Amino acid sequence: MSIETPDLLYHRIKRAWAPETVSTPFDPANPCRNQCAVTALAVQRLMGGDIVKTRTKGGTHFYNLIDGRYWDLAADQFDEPIPYENLPASADEAFEHATSAQLDALLANIASAR
């Protein structure tokens, strides 16, 4: 699968979040809720770059740094501004909040989303 930019990937990811891509109950009214770790892992797999994090009221929030630019494709889950700290993180750390099965499901859903 080839996706040229993170903003094009975002439109696919919005349609790819599902109950099988998250550990907590899926919220159809806020489908990206708690999907940040699996999303950051998918973005890194598809676009490269690094995984970064910040602390929020709800816990650690993961997103990506690609070619010197920060991309947070799961920011819509929040109803207030995110206090971005841009702290280094890793795939291993993101996998503490997502499973390989959830990542595989999200990647499959992204591939089939048009």
DSSP 49-95: -EEEEEEETTEEEEEEEETTEEE-TTGGG-SS------EE--HHHHT
For 38, the domain range is: 6-112
Task: Quote the pLDDT of residue 113.
Answer: 81
Nearest to 78 by CA among 102, 109, 55, 44: 55
Is the distance from CB of 106 to CB of 71 less than 8 angstroms? no
Number of domains in the chain: 1
What is the rounded CA–CA span in Å between residue 50 and residue 6? 13
**58, part of any domain:** yes
Q: Which residue has the higher pLDDT, 2 or 73?
A: 73
Identify the band that residue 7 occupies on the pLDDT scale cut at 50, 70 and 90.
confident
Look at residue 108 and tell me whether its pLDDT is greater than 80.
yes
Look at residue 2 and tell me whether its pLDDT is greater than 90.
no
Identify the band that residue 6 occupies on the pLDDT scale cut at 50, 70 and 90.
confident
What is the rounded CA–CA span in Å between residue 112 and residue 108? 6
Task: Quote the pLDDT of residue 3.
Answer: 75
pLDDT in tens, 55-95: 998 899 999 999 999 999 999 999 999 999 999 999 999 99
Task: Quote the pLDDT of residue 42.
Answer: 97
**31, part of any domain:** yes
Task: Quote the pLDDT of residue 4.
Answer: 74
